[in-house]
Each structure stands twice: as structure tokens, then as C-alpha cells.
Amino acid sequence: MSYPAWTEQHLPVLRAAVELCDEQNGTASETDIAKRLGLDDAAVQTALTALLAEDPPFFVKADRRFVGGYERVWQPTGHARRAVRQWPSAEARLNEMIQILELAADREPDEEKRGWLRKTAGWLGSAGREVAVDVTAAVINRQMGGA
């Protein structure tokens, strides 16, 4: 893909398709993408043709039209979500978990429980970080469809 086509046409079509799939039970039609972006059908078809040729794929499935082109895309992959920056990072999720544990420790009236919450948050932020990032990434991948 050439850079101008990617930034000006393909990326917006991909972003709209991912958003629509999230809003519409995993599917986005070429017509809905065109309406969302204010593009004509030909521009969306050009972008979809380029996007669907990518490896790894951006979508699990695409329905072809009888007369050519694509009618609909299904289930964006992790590759698609990373391209449009909608894929949560394991590091960010782990940092959120550590913050939640620290807040829970601050609010915990029981001294022993408070100590365990702080120790757990500390371990996840230091010695256990690599393991926790791997586990968090596995959970995210499973939640996002295993891609």
C-alpha cells in the first residue's frame, strides 16, 4: 500500500469497518462504511480490496458481491485493531490492575489484607511484571477473539 492511499483512504475505511463491526455484531457493510465516511462506493471498494489483500488479514471473513467487489466484512482481527489503535496493551491493563490493587489497599480497614494487597501490587510492578504482562496479554487475546 502506498502511504498517501493508506492514510487518506485505507486507514479511515479500516477504522470505520472496525467501529461498525463492534456496533453491529461483528459485521460492517460497504454501504454503511461509505455512509459513515461520506465516501462513494468506488472509494470504499478500492480500500476494501487493498485491505483484504493484506497478510496477516484484517478481517476473519469478507462477503464478495455477485458482480464484483465486497459487500461486507466480518470480525476484525487483532491485526486490524492494532492498526487502528483499538487493541488494548497488556502493559496498560497491568498498570490499571496495579492501581486498582493500590486503591483497594488504601481503602482496606484490615491491616493484614491491606498488606497483602500492597505486596501483590508491588510484586506485579516489579519481579512479577513479565509474567503478569504475559498473562494479561493472553487474557486480552482471548477476549478479543484469539487473534
Number of domains within the chain = 2
pLDDT for 1 = 47
Q: Which three cell numbers stand for residue 27?
A: 459485521
Q: What are phi and psi of 60, to 5 degrees?
A: -70, -35
**Integer Cα distance of 144 and 140 in angstroms:** 6
pLDDT at 134 over 70: yes
Q: How many residues does the chain have?
A: 147
Amino acid code (one letter) for 49? T
Percent of the chain's residues with pLDDT above 90: 44
Using one digit for the tens of pLDDT, what is the confidence trace for 70-96? 889 999 988 888 888 766 667 777 888
Contact 17, 37 (CB under 8 A): no
79 and 8 together in one domain? yes
120 and 56 together in one domain? no
Task: Tell me which residue range forms the domain holding 44.
Answer: 3-83
49 and 113 together in one domain? no
53 and 94 together in one domain? no
